[in-house]
Structure 1
Amino acid sequence: MPKPDFPPNTLSDEGNPLWIDELANADPNHAVHVVRDLEPAEALKRLGANPESFRSVELPDSKPSDHHSLPSTALGIEPGTGAALLAGRIGDWTFVYDDSGYTNDDTLLALSDGGRSAATSYFSINADASLTYAVDGEQLAWVNIDDLDLETDLPEMPAELRAAFEAAGTVDLDYLEPGEADYSIAMRAVCTLSGLTCTIDDIRRIPLLGVAFG
């Protein structure tokens, strides 16, 4: 596996996309959904959010505490009282960031209805990491990072997802054998799938929608 195909200064030392790290609180339990050819408002609706509560969002420069995410800060949501969802579109792909992991794989199928490709990367407070991939309302792959063997599993993946993992690459960390999958590979793969190999400044420059959820 090659090194991650990301521009300079877009990954942390642990290999996590920095724009996601910037959005998250200090101890994240979160998910990133991506879907092709669907507007942010429709993506939020399909995830179960109430359209009457959607708000245009400008991300603040900082968070009031380690327990806040940037979206929760922007929406005035106190930690532990619900999730903050943030949606935006870059190119053909829309992302929805869920700062508390309240949305789940079931809603991914709704995102992909209508012939679309969609994926969800989830990372829990207990370091459970996974990626789910769906097309046209059908789940085609679920990847548990604990069980991922890149050499044997990549050839069995759908072509679009396999290319995303190949572009996500591997990072050299002390706890890994060379070429072994790290816990951030799913977040990198969801970004390479959707072209979101960007910076937090790129996210700040696009129209953003936010909503309280849960």
Structure 2
Amino acid sequence: MPTPGFPPNTLDSEGTPIWITDLASGHPNHTLHVARGIEPAEALEVLGAKPGLIQSCELPDNKPDEWTSLPCAALGIEPGTSAALLAGRIGEWTFVYDDSGFTADDVATKALSADGRTAATSVYTINADASLIYAVDGEQVEWVDVDDLNLEEDLPGMPAELRAAFEAAGNVPTEDFEPGEADGDIVMRAACALAGLALTLEDIRRIPLLVVPFDD
């Protein structure tokens, strides 16, 4: 699998980062935010979470059913009643996993990148729509729609840091792909590559985590 930024056992069979697959419900409609230079609790508040509801989290061993994400199970909430946001920090980068995609918009990404920070938001919907927003110092710099992405033509024009992330993400083509066409999971891999999140769920379990219910 031509994904140079991801060691063995860090991707599932379709090319999704394995820690995200292991967190997600079946047929997910989800979002991953990554931001450099912000703490997890602050990132959750920037996204609109209520501070009083943010709590430390130990993820359950298993999902109770295919419709429940692990963060949702950790909160003990029914799927569909609210989103569950899970946050942690690896090195300089904080991630927030939104199991329902409630926080997916350019305003959120720009807010996470305010005050000189860098942030990216990767979205994958239940309809297989996939995109990534990249922002620096409160301004959107790049928006990538996978349906319109041509790797050979578009990567050279990206900011260096983002281009390197997409190069590390690589591609998982199928037999019917056209030259330069990207697979739908490339934006999740790129966000993970940007933030150094080529990990397994066991790696995630070893860091302090926060979780919070979230209504859009």
In structure 2, what is the equivalent of residue 107 of structure 1?
A: 108
| Structure-to-structure mapping, 1:14-25, within 5 angstroms | 14-25=14-25
Which sits farther off after the overlay, 172-181 or 19-28? 172-181
**Counterpart residue identity of residue 164, structure 2:** A
Contact 1:4–1:170 (CA<8 Å) still a contact in 2? no
Contact 2:10–2:19 (CA<8 Å) still a contact in 1? yes
Contact 1:119–1:132 (CA<8 Å) still a contact in 2? yes
- CA apart distance, 1:175: 3.7
In structure 2, what is the equivalent of residue 156 of structure 1?
A: 157
TM-score, length-normalised on structure 2? 0.96
Say which SS state the counterpart of residue 194 (structure 2) adopts. Answer: helix
- CA apart distance, 1:179: 4.7
- CA apart distance, 1:45: 0.5
In structure 2, what is the equivalent of residue 174 of structure 1?
A: 175
Contact 2:86–2:97 (CA<8 Å) still a contact in 1? yes
- Structure 2 distance, partners of 1:4, 1:177, is 21
- CA apart distance, 1:32: 0.2
Q: List per-residue Cα deviations over 1:110-147 (Å, max 9, x = no partner).
A: 10001011000000000000000000000000000000
**Counterpart residue identity of residue 197, structure 1:** A
Q: List per-residue Cα deviations over 1:145-182 (Å, max 9, x = no partner).
A: 00000111111111111110011011232342455210
- Structure 2 distance, partners of 1:63, 1:3, is 28
List alignment gaps of at least 5 residues for structure 2. none
Q: CA RMSD in A?
A: 1.0
Is 1:128–2:121 an aligned residue pair?
Answer: no
For this pair of structures, how many residues does the alignment match?
213
List alignment gaps of at least 5 residues for structure 1. none
TM-score, length-normalised on structure 1? 0.97
Contact 1:88–1:208 (CA<8 Å) still a contact in 2? yes
**Counterpart residue identity of residue 73, structure 1:** A
Is 1:139–2:136 an aligned residue pair?
Answer: no
- Structure 2 distance, partners of 1:3, 1:208, is 27
In structure 2, what is the equivalent of residue 61 of structure 1?
A: 61
Against the structure 1 CA distance between its residues 57 and 175, is the aligned structure 2 distance closer, same or farther, given a 3 Å change threshold? farther
Percentage of pairs with the same residue: 66
- Give runs of ≥4 in structure 1 deviating > 6 Å: none
Say which SS state the counterpart of residue 198 (structure 2) adopts. Answer: coil
- Structure 1 distance, partners of 2:87, 2:175, is 35
**Counterpart residue identity of residue 162, structure 1:** R
